[in-house]
Structure formats: C-alpha cells, structure tokens
C-alpha cells in the first residue's frame, strides 16, 4: 500500500476539550487524543476561554495523536476542522495576539444588548436574513461587546488592525502562520451577521453593531483547500481542506446528504438537524434555518432544533436525586418495569424550547399514584428525552413537508438501548446507530478528504458508514398515540404552572400598587 497519504487528521475543537482523531480510508479511528482546558467564569452567566490555550491544546493533541502511532507528516493527506460554534475571538493581525479572551457561545453577557435589539423591532429582519432568532448565543453581540470594552478596539478595528474569527478561523490562522483568514458557510451562518440567502456579510446588521467589515474572514465552502500549514508551526506542509461547525459536521459525518435526512445528538442537551437540500425552510415554531456542510460550491440548508435538558436529566437523577450510580445504570431501571405506570416527567429545568417556547416553565412530574416506584420514575425521565426529540421531529416534518426516512443518532446517551427503542416506538421511525459515534470529527475528516481526493465522492464515504445497530418500531399506533397524548398533557401542565405563576405575579404587582395608592390617600 502507498505509504503516503494514509490518514486524514480531524481537529475537533469542542467547548470543554480539544480532540484530534486520525482516520484511515475506511473511516476507522487509527489514533485519538484529547485534552480538557480551562473554563473561565469571570461573573455569573459569563463564560470565557483562553484563545492561546485553545490553540496550544489543539496543537498538542494533534502532535500526541500522531506520535502515538508514529505517523509521519507525509502520511497525512489533509486536515479537517470542526469546532464549538459561535464562540468569538478577536486578535491583532500583526502580532497574532488576542485582544480579549474568547467569549464562549454559552456566555449571556450581551443578553441586554439583544433585548434592546428586539425592542427596536429587529427580530423578523434577523430571521429573514440570517435564519436565526436574535440571541446572545451568536457571535454578533459578542464582537460588539469586545469592541465596546477593550481600549481603542473599535478604532483599531476600523483601521484594519484587528481580525475576528470563530474558533475554526482562529485555528486556521495559527496553522497557516497568520496567512489565511477564512471561515466556512456553516460557521458564518452562526454569527448572526451573515445573509444565508445572498451568501454575504450583511451590511445593515454590521452597521447596527458598528462592526467594521474589514475584521471579518472570507467565507468559503466547507470542503475546499483553505491553505496549507506553515512548516514552522507544524513541521510540514499539509493542506487544510475541511471546515464546519460541530453540529453541521456531525450531520455530514452521519452521511445525511439527502433532503429529509436527520440526525439527533443525545448529549447534555439534544441537537437535531435535518438536511433540507438547496431550499432554506423558514420555521414558524422557533426552529433555526442554517447552512449545512456540503461539497463543491452548492449550498445546502438545514433546519436545527435543540432540547435544553436531555442527558442532563439523567445526570440530575444521578447527582441530585441520587437514584443512580451512573448514567448507563438508568437502562437497568427502565427495563425492570413494563411502563412508567402513568408517570410523566417534563425536565423543563430552564424553561421549554421548540415548539412550545416558555422560558418560565419548570420541571413537572405528573401521574403519580401510590404504586409509582423508583423504576417508573427513572423510566419516565429517560422517556422524556425521546418525547422531546419527537416534538422536534414532528415540527421539522410538518414545516419541511419532507417525509423522514430514518433518524441517525449519536452522543453519549445514544448508548442507552432502551432509549433508542423507545424513540423508535414513539416516533414510528427506524433509528440507526453508527459504529463510529465520533461523527463530528468524522464529518470534518470527510469534508477534508473529499476536497483532496482522498475519497472519491459521497458514495464512497457512505459505504464506510457502518450501522452498529438499527431499532425498529414495535408498538401499535393506538399505544403510541395514547403515550404521546399523555406527554402533551404533561407539557401543558408545565406550561400552565408558568402561566399561573405569571398571573400570581401580576396580581401581587397590582395588589402592591393598590396598597401603595391606599397609603397615598391615607397620607
């Protein structure tokens, strides 16, 4: 076999760790290394990373993964990058030094800025141009915040001295020794500055945030040669040929290439993305429209929805309720009983998202009887992950008019066989669990490998996609409908609780202002 070009490097730069995986032509993992790095919480609700630590940890794990199998640089055909999305870094073009820490996607420091934007009536316009709903998650307000708070930053930016990038852009800049300032469509589509229809930075939004256009990277397809590594940085010249945000990379890694193909990642929360082909679909239920990773110059779109609390509910059973020793143990309890005995748990700990949208809803348990046991309760929590994912699936199906073929799954909680079977039952859909669940890194590798001819075409990589296990629906339509109706009632209860609380607060507000008035009259 040819000793050259045997592997693709995937750099998977996530929120809590930097990971590097080397893949061979069959899509097998031949080496892997990862390292956690510091999470910085300067104030409640604020989250930062040190950009230099992002870079050094990513470079370090890459060297480690190569060294672990004694791989030489001439055995690497290309590098693909996937990254935590939206996280914002601004640096000096000359020195390469960041002017502030990376402001992480989770950071809420610009929430007021976004509220003001909504008050000024920008919501519809943002949705129409960017496919997003105004939110502090996205990069736009984070850039504005750094420019507002770092001395002379805006003037320097206007003079063209500063560069902005999401984490992919920052890594490519460093890998190329500061020669290349680019991003890809998928990452650009999460900045809230990019017109996903016209495929350009939007001047009107840039003006609103007073962000100079000169700071922004060039936007390219997700699979193309962006540049080459600088030999002084990594010891060799290797093409950097793939780039996509983590969720889009996982959609690609799962080979969801056709309209209607959908994947769900069961992690702390759930991220569901559906390929909608060349047509962007505008959601009426709060799903986001975003650009999917694709090959060539053809731009494809995806609908995206998320569940805030998924695996986190299992962690809650383990850590706060102290009902489990480990998350995988939940499966034993689920299979020890034949159903939940009528119990439903809605884990709306921080509100409830699509398609219900109430930030005031809170966790709710309904249907308790004297016969309810711990097993029923644990099972109800595990089932809640599937019900929430099903709500997203139904919304996507309705809005896209696309019939779903199957649901591809990944993320930590997809290891739970009970959960996968229940998802299949409740959604009446085949569930496909791949043998390689590192689908995010795999997606980045595929994008890079396709750009340099390591893989011929998408058909060839689909052949790599080995399905480890398939789950097929096993319950009757009646049973499914009954269970789903129960879930909807449980969600309504959680929403009603929030509504009653709001009424109480209004009444208390009115009561206190009446009391104030009485006091005034008495005086």
Q: Which residue, 316 or 455, is less far from ligand ADP as judged by CB?
A: 316
Q: Output the smallest distance, CB 328 to ligand ADP, in A.
A: 4
Which residue has its beta carbon closest to ligand ADP?
412
Q: 413-423: string of b/e by CB count within 10 Å (b at 16+)? A: bbebebbbbbb
Nearest to 173 by CA among 112, 124, 215: 215
Q: Which residue, 290 or 306, is less far from ligand ADP as judged by CB?
A: 306
Peptide bond into 121 cis (omega under 30): no
Interacting residues with ligand ADP between 395 and 414 (CB under 6 A)? 411-413
Q: Output the smallest distance, CB 14 to ligand ADP, in A.
A: 7
Q: Compute the distance between CA of residue 156 and CA of residue 97 in angstroms, rounded to an integer.
A: 14
Selected from 80, 221, 311, 465, the binder of ligand ADP by CB under 6 A is 311
Task: Transcribe 297-319 into DSSP letters.
Answer: T--EEEEEEEESSSHHHHHHHHH
Selected from 56, 315, 373, 493, the binder of ligand ADP by CB under 6 A is 315
Q: Output the smallest distance, CB 311 to ligand ADP, in A.
A: 2
Q: Compute the distance between CA of residue 317 and CA of residue 4 in angstroms, rounded to an integer.
A: 50
Q: Output the smallest distance, CB 327 to ligand ADP, in A.
A: 4
Interacting residues with ligand ADP between 429 and 448 (CB under 6 A)? none
Q: Output the smallest distance, CB 405 to ligand ADP, in A.
A: 24
Q: Which residue, 240 or 312, is less far from ligand ADP as judged by CB?
A: 312
Nearest to 21 by CA among 74, 72, 66: 66
Q: Which residue, 42 or 328, is less far from ligand ADP as judged by CB?
A: 328
Nearest to 479 by CA among 412, 425, 420: 425
Q: Which residue, 12 or 135, is less far from ligand ADP as judged by CB?
A: 12
Q: Compute the distance between CA of residue 76 and CA of residue 507 in angstroms, rounded to an integer.
A: 67
Nearest to 257 by CA among 224, 216, 300, 220: 300
Task: Transcribe 388-421 into DSSP letters.
Answer: HHHHHHHHHHHHH-PPP-EEEEESGGGG-HHHHH
Q: Output the smallest distance, CB 224 to ligand ADP, in A.
A: 28
Nearest to 35 by CA among 6, 62, 71, 75: 62
Q: Output the smallest distance, CB 350 to ligand ADP, in A.
A: 15
Interface with ligand ADP, residue 312, by CB under 6 A: yes
Interacting residues with ligand ADP between 240 and 299 (CB under 6 A)? 267-268
Q: Which residue, 36 or 112, is less far from ligand ADP as judged by CB?
A: 36
Six-digit token string for 322: 């102290």
Q: Which residue, 295 or 416, is less far from ligand ADP as judged by CB?
A: 416
Q: Which residue, 12 or 261, is less far from ligand ADP as judged by CB?
A: 12
Backbone torsion region of residue 483, taken as left when φ is above 0, otherwise alpha when ψ lies between -120 and 50, otherwise beta: alpha
Whether the CB-CB separation of 375 and 324 falls below 8 Å is answered with: no
Taken in order 151, 155, 157, 160, the sign of the CA dihedral is negative
Q: Compute the distance between CA of residue 174 and CA of residue 74 in angstroms, rounded to an integer.
A: 20
Selected from 327, 350, 405, 493, the binder of ligand ADP by CB under 6 A is 327
Q: Which residue, 97 or 335, is less far from ligand ADP as judged by CB?
A: 335
Interacting residues with ligand ADP between 331 and 360 (CB under 6 A)? 331
β pairing state of 162-165 and 89-92: antiparallel
Interacting residues with ligand ADP between 180 and 239 (CB under 6 A)? none
Q: Output the smallest distance, CB 187 to ligand ADP, in A.
A: 19
Q: Output the smallest distance, CB 108 to ligand ADP, in A.
A: 18
Interface with ligand ADP, residue 324, by CB under 6 A: no
Interface with ligand ADP, residue 415, by CB under 6 A: yes
Q: Which residue's structure tokens are 């296990």?
A: 469
Site residues (CB under 6 A) for ligand ADP?
Answer: 267-268, 311-312, 314-315, 327-328, 330-331, 411-413, 415-416
């Amino acid at each position: 076999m040819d000793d050259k070009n045997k592997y693709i490097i995937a750099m998977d730069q996530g929120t809590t760790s930097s990971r590097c995986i080397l893949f061979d032509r069959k899509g097998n993992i031949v080496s892997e290394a990862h390292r956690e790095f510091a999470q910085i919480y300067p104030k409640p609700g604020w989250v930062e990373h040190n950009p230099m630590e992002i870079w050094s940890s990513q470079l370090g794990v890459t060297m480690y993964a190569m060294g672990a199998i004694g791989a030489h640089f001439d055995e690497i055909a290309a590098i693909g990058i996937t990254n935590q999305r939206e996280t914002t870094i601004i640096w000096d073009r000359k020195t390469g030094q960041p002017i502030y820490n990376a402001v992480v996607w989770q950071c809420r420091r610009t929430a007021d800025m976004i509220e003001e934007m909504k008050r000024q009536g920008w919501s519809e316009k943002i949705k129409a141009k960017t496919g997003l709903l105004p939110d502090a998650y996205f990069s736009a307000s984070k850039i504005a915040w750094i420019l507002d708070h770092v001395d002379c930053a805006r003037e320097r930016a206007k003079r063209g001295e500063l560069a902005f990038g999401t984490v992919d852009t920052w890594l490519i800049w460093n890998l190329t020794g500061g020669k290349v300032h680019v991003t890809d469509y998928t990452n650009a589509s999460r900045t809230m500055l990019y017109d996903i229809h016209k495929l350009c930075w939007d001047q009107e939004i840039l003006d609103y945030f007073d962000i100079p256009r000169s700071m922004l990277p060039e936007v390219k397809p997700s699979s193309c040669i962006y540049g080459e590594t600088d030999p002084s940085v990594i010891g060799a010249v290797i093409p950097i040929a793939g780039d996509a945000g983590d969720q889009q990379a996982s959609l690609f890694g799962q080979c969801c290439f056709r309209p209607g193909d959908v994947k769900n990642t069961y992690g702390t929360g759930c991220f569901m993305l559906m390929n909608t082909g060349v047509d962007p679909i505008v959601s009426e239920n709060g799903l986001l429209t975003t650009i999917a990773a694709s090959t060539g110059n053809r731009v494809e779109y995806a609908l995206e929805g998320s569940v805030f609390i998924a695996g986190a509910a299992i962690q809650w059973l383990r850590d706060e309720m102290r009902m489990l020793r480990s998350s995988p143990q939940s499966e034993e309890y689920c299979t020890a009983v034949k159903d939940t005995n009528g119990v439903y748990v809605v884990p709306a700990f921080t509100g409830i998202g699509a398609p219900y949208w109430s930030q005031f809803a809170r966790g709710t348990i309904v249907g308790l009887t004297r016969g309810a046991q711990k097993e029923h309760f644990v099972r109800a929590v595990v089932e809640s992950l599937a019900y929430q994912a099903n709500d997203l699936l139904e919304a996507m199906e309705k809005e896209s008019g696309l019939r779903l073929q199957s649901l591809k799954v990944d993320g930590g909680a997809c290891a739970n066989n009970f959960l996968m079977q229940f998802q299949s039952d409740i959604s009446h859909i085949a569930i496909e669990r791949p043998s390689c669940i590192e689908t995010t890194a795999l997606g980045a590798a595929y994008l890079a490998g396709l750009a340099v001819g390591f893989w011929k075409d998408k058909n060839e990589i689909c052949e790599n996609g080995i399905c480890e296990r398939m789950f097929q629906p096993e319950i009757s339509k009646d049973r499914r409908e009954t269970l789903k109706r129960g879930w909807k009632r449980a969600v309504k209860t959680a929403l009603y609780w929030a509504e009653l609380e709001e009424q109480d607060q209004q009444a208390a507000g009115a009561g206190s202002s009446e009391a104030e008035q009485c006091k005034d009259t008495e005086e």
